[in-house]
Amino acid sequence: MGDKRYIRDALHGDIILPDEIRRIVDTRSFQRLRYIQQLATCHYAFPSATHSRFSHSLGAFHLATRLIEDLRERFPGKISDEDARLVPIAALLHDIGHPPFSHMFETPEVFATFADHEDWGRKILLDKECDISGVLRDLLGDSVERLLSIMEGKDVPPFLHEIVSSQLDVDRFDYLLRDQLVTGTDVGGFDLERLLRAINISDENHLVVSIYSISAVEAYLVTRWHMYQLVYFHKLNMLTSVYYVRALSRARELHESGDLPLSLKMRDMLSNRNLTPYRYSQLTDSFVIADVFQWADHDDSILSGYAKRLSSRDDFHKRLRIELNPKQLEMVWDSLIDLVETSGFDSEHDLIHAPLRKEGYLPYQEGIHLEDGRDIMEASPLIESISVEFSRSMVFVPLEIRERCEELVKSILN
């Protein structure tokens, strides 16, 4: 097989890449993930959170390799040699289709050719123009179809897909621990070793958890809950995400009315209605950052307003210090618009709503099941307590009128 490559990872220590994996990793299509930040704009709140989809994908590959080896030992005959080879590759490639700034730009407000990252990933892996498709065909031959089936959860034993994508998968294990490490958020974490050992395969070919390891799953789900509260839904992350999406949306308007020349890559993202997988696979965070910095000097006050804030970290809107659920927001919204407008601001750009919605852990088709068939929520009051659907709103306004807006909201709600 050729030489192995050893990669030193801050989270897992040594990650070993066999020669065939090295060939996949060394493609241009995969190396692009070095230039897509895992946490989009979280670094405005957590300056060290600048890690990439690249390091996370290597981590997911490493954990899938470990889990497959362990399951093969404990469940002889359940996993073929072919599937044992393909599942870690599926984990390695699960993020190959992410756009710049990851989930933040997965919206038709940004992409003229909007599709989710799984769709783009499949196109990249199959498109002859993309170098990774040739490498995969060379290494795997007809097994490429089996690889895609594992990634999509079609016509394969369900547990093969669940290792890569489920409520209890190697993707989540890696990003929760990695994001916690780089943000410096101390939420207790979970025992990865114990969790990996607790995962079994049921007679129905699903992943299930040992009834003696409920506490390990509790720690994992509590960590996930805290990371959403403290990191993924941090007010600066939510606000800067809105700034970026609005800046790009405005840039498209100006470009299509002839008032803003765009770089080729920005044009591909915002205005190319026939974007090919190869051209998509050239898109990274870096050109977006460069263009936004440039737009801070543009004559259009709306575009430059968002761009100046993002490039200088100054004059940010301030969050109302009141928790609002969707119903309460509806009650106060029109009055807030009036107050913002009569104070001399533009409600379209100076009254910002960032909705937060997280299902937490909900038992559904893909819930986490115990060996005895119960959903884990039935066995854990703790998990039940964090399983309510979480839906609230952050509202941002200019600092000058924040207190008046808060007083208005309180008077209406009371």
- CATH number assigned to the domain comprising residue 191: 1.10.3210.10
CATH for 384: 3.30.70
Residue 360 is predicted with a pLDDT of 57
Domain boundary among 205, 232, 259: 232
318 is a domain residue: no
Instruction: Determine the structural domain holding residue 256 and report its residue range.
Output: 235-313
Residue 131 has pLDDT above 50, yes or no: yes
Q: In the 8-state DSSP scheme, what is residue 321?
A: S
Q: Report the pLDDT averaged over residues 190-200.
A: 96
Q: Report the pLDDT averaged over residues 237-258.
A: 96
> For 155-181, how does the pLDDT look when each residue is reduced to its tens digit (9 = 90+)?
999 999 999 999 999 999 999 999 999
> For 308-359, how does the pLDDT look when each residue is reduced to its tens digit (9 = 90+)?
999 998 899 999 999 898 899 999 999 999 999 999 999 999 999 998 776 5
Query: Where is 211: in which H helix or E strand?
Result: none
Q: Which residue has the tokens 């898109």?
A: 283
pTM (predicted TM-score)? 0.94
Name the percent of the chain in helix, strand, coil, to the closest 5.
55, 10, 35
Residue 363 has pLDDT above 70, yes or no: no
Residue 188 is predicted with a pLDDT of 83
User: Does 39 lie in the same domain as 94?
Assistant: yes
Residue 362 has pLDDT above 60, yes or no: no
User: Does 247 lie in the same domain as 204?
Assistant: no
How would residue 393 be classed by pLDDT, with cut points 50, 70 and 90? confident
Number of domains in the chain: 3
> For 265-302, how does the pLDDT look when each residue is reduced to its tens digit (9 = 90+)?
999 999 999 999 999 999 999 999 999 999 999 999 99
The rounded distance, in Å, linking the Cα atoms of 110 and 237 is: 18
Q: Which residue has the higher pLDDT, 392 or 197?
A: 197
Q: Report the pLDDT averaged over residues 221-231.
A: 92
Residue 364 has pLDDT above 50, yes or no: no
DSSP letters along 174-188, please?
HHHHHHHHHHT--S-
User: Does 142 lie in the same domain as 52?
Assistant: yes
User: Does 227 lie in the same domain as 179?
Assistant: yes
Minimal CA–CA distance to 249: which of 344, 349, 336?
349
Residue 202 has pLDDT above 80, yes or no: yes
Query: Where is 138: in which H helix or E strand?
Result: helix 131-140
- Please name every residue paired with 6 in a beta bridge, in sequence order, or none if there are none: 16
Percentage above 70 pLDDT, the chain:
96
158 is a domain residue: yes
Residue 313 is predicted with a pLDDT of 87
Residue 2 is predicted with a pLDDT of 61
Residue 61 has pLDDT above 70, yes or no: yes
Residue 365 has pLDDT above 60, yes or no: no
Residue 179 is predicted with a pLDDT of 97
Q: Report the pLDDT averaged over residues 222-244.
A: 93
User: Does 401 lie in the same domain as 284?
Assistant: no
User: Does 259 lie in the same domain as 215?
Assistant: no
